[in-house]
Amino acid sequence: MSEVTFSKDELERYSRHLIIPEFNIEGQRKLKAAKVLVVGTGGLGSPMLLYLAAAGVGTIGIIDFDVVDDSNLQRQVLYSVDDVGVPKVEAAKKRIQALNPHINIVVHETMLTSQNALDIVKDYDVVADGTDNFPTRYLVNDACVLLGKTNVYASIFRFEGQVSVFNYTDKEGNVGPNYRDLFPSPPPPGLVPSCAEGGVIGVLPGIVGSLQANEVIKVITGVGEPLSGRLFIFDALSFITRTLKIYRDEENPLNGKNPTITELIDYQQFCGIPQKSEEKNVKEITVKELANMVKNNVDFQLIDVREPYEYDIANIKGELIPLAQVEESYNKINSDKQVVVHCRSGKRSADAIELLEKKYGFKNLYNLKGGILAWADEIDNSLPKY
Amino acid sequence: MEVNILAFGIAREIMGKQNLVLEIPNQSTVKELLEIIEMQFPKLKDLASMTIAINEEYVKEEREIKAMDEIAIIPPVSGG
């Protein structure tokens, strides 16, 4: 490591690290020599990128395919108003390069897929997973295990966070547990909401992503005890924390006794996400067609299957019957005229229609394609999107 | 015997509360406890995998439960 050198500017910048006895210039050299891939530049990626850049990680890879949206700014502190509409990787790079000009930033403006994951991940020493969906969680995990990389993991939901260090090889050469030891199979699609579907308190990713950044730094420098073989859980609502001991499972299909997964698989399929051809077969109506029906005073019923708190944010004057109450309220739904059912994006309303058709024989139900979001995009710009 | 259940994530949403004190037969295993909880909250069955920890340690389904154990139910979360 002695070949890694620092300029006067760098020595001054990192002085608060250099004077920690167990960290010192050796820790700083390891940071500068390290290559870290941050997967996802959202709530967790924001504090991670800021702190890893500030700390002086020599090469930081950023991967994301999305653009900055107004609804990101409540928690994704990496971005400002001017970045809205800009690709996240581009805005992120600009921000962290301004914070630390001494580091090298590599941008991957793409979705991480089974096709490109091994090729991208292989160039890095440590991966930090801040993605927002189950298929990518399993993909990142499997790619790291197949390539022997440490996966610093964190995940959030509403007021709760989880942190762990997966697939970590300790000084004795023992490899710690990975995501599949903890959660061998994914929950069925739709049961565990993402931040976009279920919401998240804005400070939470700041706390959890900062813990994740700290674990990345510990893994790289070898300072302290990384959170390998342990799962940290934080509930910000009641301020409950637990640090669970976790173990490797010999049934793990990746690196258990009899490995059955030797290459990356189709993670959408693994997580039960319907492929295009398997999508719900319900009748659809576009927002333009609905707008015409309203204009021409067509006699129809509009049902909104969202929750009351969503109705308060934005509504198009549908009758509110939340999805969970659709069954008990089926007699409120007309069977003798056209009924349009909508939700936020069109997913829950399709579920409602499928249920009503199968169980109660409705034949007059139409799903509003794209939901109230499409209405806000195409018909009424004054309607807030959430 | 009485045991304390601590639910996280979507399990807490399904159960409607974070803490639950449950009376279960002596020498029940984790599997038997889960069956009792799932009878009360059938939707929990849909979660294909949940991590169960007793006194802050990951356990398998055949583990026997002792009185006053704290049993944490930890479903996966995916947000980022």
**Residues of B with Cβ-Cβ distance to A238 under 8 angstroms:** 18
Q: Residue A68 is encoded by which pair of tokens?
A: 């900055």
Predicted TM-score (pTM) of the model is 0.86
Distances (CA, A) of A337 to A299, A318, B55: 7, 15, 58
Amino acid making up residue A281: N
State how far the Cα of B10 lies from the Cα of A190, in Å rounded to an integer. Answer: 11
The residue whose two tokens read 């499409």 is A374
Q: Which of A103, A343, A352, A356 is catalytic?
A: A343
Which residue ranges make up each domain of chain A?
34-276, 280-378
Instruction: Give yes or no for a contact between A272 and A186, defined as CB atoms under 8 angstroms apart.
Output: yes
Select from A74, A138, A156, A191 the residue whose CB has the most chain B CBs within 10 Å, as the one to mutate to test that interface: A191
Q: Any idea which fold A34-276 has?
A: Rossmann fold (3.40.50)
A277 band by pLDDT with thresholds 50, 70 and 90 = very low
Nearest-Cα residue of chain B relative to residue A76: B80
Q: Is the pLDDT of residue A189 over 90?
A: no
Backbone angles phi, psi at A352, to 5 degrees: -60, -45
Q: How far apart are CA B56 and CA A88, in angstroms?
A: 38
CA distance A337 to B26: 58
B1 touches chain A (CB under 8 A): no
Question: Could you read off the pLDDT of B21-70 as tens digits, one per residue?
Answer: 999 999 999 999 999 999 999 989 888 788 899 999 999 999 999 998 99
Query: Would you say the ipTM is above 0.90?
Result: yes
What mean pLDDT do residues B4-21 have? 93
Distance CA A11, CA A25 (A): 9
Measured between CB atoms, which of B10, B53, B56 is closest to A192?
B10
Which pLDDT score is estimated for A1? 63
Q: Which residue in B18, B72, B76 is closest to A192 by CB distance?
A: B76
Pick the residue with more confidence: A336 or A146? A146
Average pLDDT of the segment spanning A152-159: 96
pLDDT at position A384 over 90: yes
Any idea which fold A280-378 has?
Oxidized Rhodanese; domain 1 (3.40.250)
Poorest-pLDDT segment among A97-106, A126-135, A321-330: A321-330
Q: Whole-angstrom Cα distance, residue A352 to residue A360?
A: 11
**Residue A173 region by backbone torsions, left for phi larger than 0, else alpha for psi between -120 and 50, else beta:** left
The pLDDT of residue A275: 62
As given in the structure block, the two tokens for residue B17 are 């509360």
- Nearest Cα of chain A lies from the Cα of B34 at a distance, in angstroms, of 16
B10-65, what's its fold? Answer: Ubiquitin-like (UB roll) (3.10.20)
Instruction: Report pLDDT for A176.
Output: 98
In angstroms, the CA A377 to CA A370 distance is 10
Top-ranked range on mean pLDDT: pick from A58-67, A192-201, A324-333: A58-67
Look at B58 and A131 and tell me if their CB atoms are within 8 Å: no
Q: How far is CA A113 from CA A105, A137, A189, A192, A374, in A?
A: 21, 11, 19, 22, 27
- Angstroms from A242 CA to nearest CA on chain B: 7
Residue A203 has pLDDT above 50, yes or no: yes
Contact A240/B75, CB-based, under 8 Å? no
